[in-house]
Amino acid sequence: MIRRIRKLLAQPGFRAEPLRVLGRAAAWAAMVLVRRSPVFTLTEGGERVRVPADLRFTSVTTYLLRDWTEPELRRLDLFVGPGDVFVDIGANIGIYALKGARLVGPTGRVVAVEPGSDAGRQLAANLALNDWRHVTVVPKALSASEGEATLHHIPMGEDPQAFSLLPGDGHEAGEKVRTTTLDRLAEELALPRIDCIKIDVEGAEHLVLEGAQESLARWRPIVVMEINCPTGIASGAAPDTAWNRLAALGYRFQRLVDGRLQGVEAMPAEFGNVIAHHPDGPALRGR
C-alpha cells in the first residue's frame, strides 16, 4: 500500500492536480464501499467511461488520473489527429481507443484490438457509452501468425490488462484466444492506411511487429510501444528485439519528457513507452 501511495504522489497528474486527485480518491473509496461503478469523463473532451468499483490497478488509476495515467495517452494528440487511422493493440478497457476516437473524429477510424474476455467486455461497454460508429473492436490477439494461442494470466492484482501471449515465470494459463497479424487485419478491414499504432501487449511487442512487416513498410505509421516489460524479460525474449526490428526499417525513436518529445539514440534501460517515427511516415504534430 505504501508503495502504491508513493507511486501516486510521483505521478505527473497528481503533481498537476493534487486536490482534484485526492478528492477523487475519497470519492472512489466510498464507491468501492457501496459497490457503485460511476460513469465519468476521461478528458475535458467528454469521452465517457466506466470502470468496476474495485481496487484493481486499471480501475483506480483511470478514475483518479484519467488521461494522466500515461504521458503518451495525455499527449495522444501529438500522434493522432482528424481523419487518421489509429490501431490500438492491447486496448484493454479502451482509454486509448476512447481518446483516439475523439481525436480522429468521424472521418477517421479506430481499430481496438483486445483478446481478453474480461477487458473486452469492458471495452465494448465503454465504447457503447459514446455511441461512436468509427470504432471497430477486434477480439483477437495480434501476433506473428494466424492461429490459436494461450493468453497467460500475470498475477498482478487480478487486473484485466495483466495477460500476455508469453508464458513468463509464475504466470498461469488464462484463456484460449484466436491470433492474427496486423497485415492480415489491415487487409480484412480494408484499411486505406495506418497512421499510428499503439502496442501494449505485455512483452510480446516483437511478435506484433513480426506480423506487421507489410504494413510498416507500406505506411510507416507512428508506433507507440512498451519496452523492457518484465513479462518479456521473464519469458526469455530479448528486450531489444522490437526496437531493433523498427530501427532496421529506418525508424527513429523519441520519448515524452514533461510533455515534450526528446530524441533517444539507444534503447532506454527502464520500463516505459517509446515513440518510433519514420522520416517518410506521418508527421508528428505539435512540434
The strand pairing partners of 135, in sequence order, are 110
Separation between Cα atoms, residue 195 and residue 199, nearest integer Å? 13
Distance CA 15, CA 169 (A): 35
pLDDT of residue 91: 95
Long-range contacts of the stretch 11-19 (C-beta < 8 A, 24+):
11/65, 11/68, 12/68, 12/71, 12/74, 12/258, 13/64, 13/65, 13/66, 13/68, 13/69, 13/74, 14/65, 14/68, 16/68, 17/68
Record the cell numbers describing residue 126, joined without a space. 465503454
Angle in degrees, CA 119, 236, 251, rounded to 5: 75
- Tell me what percent of the chain is helix, strand and coil, each rounded to the nearest 5: 40, 25, 40
Task: State the pLDDT at residue 9.
Answer: 76
| Nearest-angstrom CA–CA distance, 40 and 51 | 9
H helix or E strand, kind and range, residue 39: strand 39-41
What pTM did the predictor assign?
0.94
> Which residue type is seen at 237?
A
What pLDDT is attached to residue 284?
93
Q: So what's the pLDDT on residue 157? A: 47
C-alpha angle with apex 184: 212 to 144, nearest 5 degrees?
A: 50
User: What pLDDT was estimated at residue 287?
Assistant: 54
The grid cell for 106 is 468521424
Q: What is the structure's pLDDT at 164?
A: 77
Write out the chain's pLDDT in tens, 287 residues.
Answer: 566 667 777 888 999 999 999 999 999 999 999 999 999 999 999 999 999 999 888 899 999 999 999 999 999 999 999 999 999 999 999 999 999 999 999 999 999 999 999 899 999 999 999 989 999 999 999 999 999 998 887 765 456 556 777 776 555 567 899 999 999 999 999 999 999 999 999 888 999 999 999 999 999 999 999 988 766 666 667 778 999 999 999 999 999 998 899 999 999 888 889 999 999 999 998 65
Among the listed residues 239, 236, 246, 248, the one whose alpha carbon sits nearest the alpha carbon of residue 268: 239
pLDDT value of position 202: 83
Domains and CATH numbers, the chain: 1-69 (no CATH), 70-277 (3.40.50.150)
